[in-house]
Copies of this chain bind each other. A is one copy, B any other.
């Protein structure tokens, strides 16, 4: 190996959040890192819930470490699925194992739970939050939010199909023709588009809504119908206070349209999340009342309060026969593929971070500047500082 090769040790601890089944590095990516010259250490059982035995890591050239404290002290760079606010209950135990100069890369919930960063700063840890990756082409292959949204959109449809008392596809049988399920997807981001694709694959009639009319083409290219609002702008124009009235009119019309489409749907999947904020309520209790018994709502925004007024995170609520499902940590239910994608994301991030065998905090690189949370005892991320009132 050349002198250009990093001689860094990356450590992968077992995830400690209850119900978290993913692992930050799968054996195949561990092997790729080792080929690049890294040492890779894995805490015993770290991959087990995702289906990867210690043996698979050993075969890939990694070292298994049974003592978590030892793993942290051996490692230059710690790769986790969840650190800081993304693991609020348990991250402080890891703080005790961290020391100045260690680099941690993980999901951190940087905007919703920024208080957790004070501990990392105090320890002198260099912490990166992958949620803050800029949405630029160069960062696409590191984009954990997209990866996990792909998984979530797929699984949301399976959860809905499993809960529905009807089948998704139209079936022409000797016992008559069965109508296909009507599926309505709210929000056509990565999760929404994957949900559209999956529901179409299963044979449902799919419609979708998004505030951004620009996604219409994407929805249609997947075979979905884009639901449009007919806004009677004529009426609004005659009134005073144009902009404000227009706003109210817009939201009223939106609610009306939503109520109508939701009442006709067998399945509603909501995917509207605002980073770091409480999710907007798009499906009211009243709209749920308009749904038929046996219909199903899957609320992918459940961890941030939900898009449906009745959603409870991690539970299935029955409201007059309508099931409202809040699938907590949904990506952990497909831990193998989720870990595979996450591994790829985090190692691509790592490759960009390390130059000539050392961590290189190049603040000219927006990938690094946007995701860097703490460094040399300080919380440095501008948006996080603003939320914490540190400006």
Contacts and interface: CB of A to CB of B under 8 A. Distances in A.
A234 interface: no
B53 A174 contact: no
A105 to B, nearest CB: 15
A337 B293 contact: no
A174 B334 contact: no
Contacts of A166: 334, 336-337
Nearest to A151: B167
Interface string A181-212: 00000000000000000100111000000000
A99 interface: no
A342 to B, nearest CB: 8
Most buried by B among A164, A173, A198: A173
A14 interface: no
Interface string A147-165: 1001100100011011011
Number of copies: 2
A321 interface: yes
A269 to B, nearest CB: 15
A308 interface: no
A143 interface: yes
Most buried by B among A158, A162, A164: A158
Given A143-B174, A202-B201, A51 B336 contact: no
21 contacts: A21-B165, A51-B292, A51-B321, A141-B174, A143-B174, A146-B173, A147-B174, A150-B173, A151-B167, A154-B169, A162-B162, A165-B333, A165-B335, A169-B198, A175-B340, A175-B341, A176-B341, A176-B344, A198-B202, A201-B201, A201-B202
